Structure 1
């Protein structure tokens, strides 16, 4: 094995080891989010995209782990079949991540604009369920303490008692919009960054697969 082949092999191996760990982390985050906020997201039942977020994270984490496993095994075993399979799957995954990033950047503003409407509808429909949201996100009312039009507020609006306008949390609208704005932009940027790293991994995978195929051919002569 030449020096170049050795470097390509182990760079590919460690890159995919990182991807495998990242896939497991994404899987764990998806499961944790699904278990923790399943009851909270009920106030946005009409938003299918929000409800599918944790499930998508679980599926994507599993897929990333399986593809990275192919890459690790293919690099270590120098298997042409596994390396080619890995490269094809990685290219498909890259396209999906680019699509995801584009959808996030294009639809984020319109999604954020709908948040006040969903919060106002949820607040008017079931304030008790809204209190659970306030406790989880540490916020108060759709537009702040003024949403209740009372001097004494529910305890879910404050960290201490008595709960009044003075020590109330900020509005749930501000908290949720800030969260999704940051989450969306970071997710899109990270997806593009990962795609760039994956492109390098795909090139290395195809180079190693080509070397293995040529070496096997020479072995027949």
Structure 2
């Protein structure tokens, strides 16, 4: 094997190690988002789980394919490398689609949060207390949402709970959650795609080298 092929082989191997870690990061981030918005989904009766669930699925698949790519690079298997490249191209398209959907719809989802939380608050204040407890917030817009002097204990860190020592409104905290994790998932997906494009080129080059070596061995 020449120096060029040697470099391509090990660059591809270590690139796939990076993809495996990135896949785990995407999976972990999806799980973290899912756990944090589970309360919002339960209280607000709305479905905003597409992005975290998609991130978990894509992250898990990326991890498995990256492991497959590492094996293909070490063994210099033409079949494994070509299969790996094709699957990676499909995954790249899926991740670009995921990131595009997040960036396009994020502002609309964030803008809907005050309306959704206000409806949930008016529908069932007792259930809304679970959201306040989890996010350490008080009412949709703040303690004045209750229009009473004495507030529920979930609105404060200590007792008695009044307007003076109450947390801020839940609107901003839930909006910040969606903005932070939405952008993080979208940016991470784009970064991974950029590295995957390089890996696909290297995989095809190494596959071509393996195919040529196999042909020469038959002469």
Instruction: State if a TM-score over 0.5 links the two structures.
Output: yes
Q: Is there any run of 5+ residues in structure 1 with no aligned partner, and where? A: none
| CA displacement, residues 160-180 of structure 1 (integer Å, 9 cap, x when unaligned) | 222221221111111111221
How many angstroms does 1:24 deviate by?
3.0
Q: Is there any run of 5+ residues in structure 2 with no aligned partner, and where? A: none
Aligned residue number for residue 216 of structure 1:
214
Structure 1 distance, partners of 2:114, 2:40, is 16
Distance 1:28 1:105, change over 3 A: closer
Aligned residue number for residue 201 of structure 1:
199
| Larger deviation, residues 177-186 vs 113-122 | 177-186
Q: Alignment partner of 1:146: what SS? A: helix
2:22 is the alignment partner of 1:22: yes
Structure 2 distance, partners of 1:165, 1:189, is 39
8 Å Cα contact 2:29/2:185 also seen in 1: no
| CA displacement, residues 105-152 of structure 1 (integer Å, 9 cap, x when unaligned) | 211111112111110111111112111111111111111111111112
How many angstroms does 1:98 deviate by?
1.1
How many angstroms does 1:15 deviate by?
1.2
Higher-RCO chain (CA-CA 8 Å, sequence separation at least 6): 2
Aligned residue number for residue 154 of structure 2:
156
Aligned residue number for residue 182 of structure 2:
184
Structure 2 distance, partners of 1:120, 1:100, is 29
How many angstroms does 1:184 deviate by?
1.8
| Larger deviation, residues 139-148 vs 184-193 | 184-193
Distance 1:104 1:31, change over 3 A: closer
RMSD of equivalent CA atoms: 1.8
* Count, aligned residues: 219
8 Å Cα contact 1:44/1:118 also seen in 2: yes
How many angstroms does 1:21 deviate by?
2.6
Q: Alignment partner of 1:153: what SS? A: coil
Q: TM-score under structure 1 normalisation?
A: 0.91
Q: TM-score under structure 2 normalisation?
A: 0.92
How many angstroms does 1:40 deviate by?
4.5
Q: Alignment partner of 1:24: what SS? A: helix
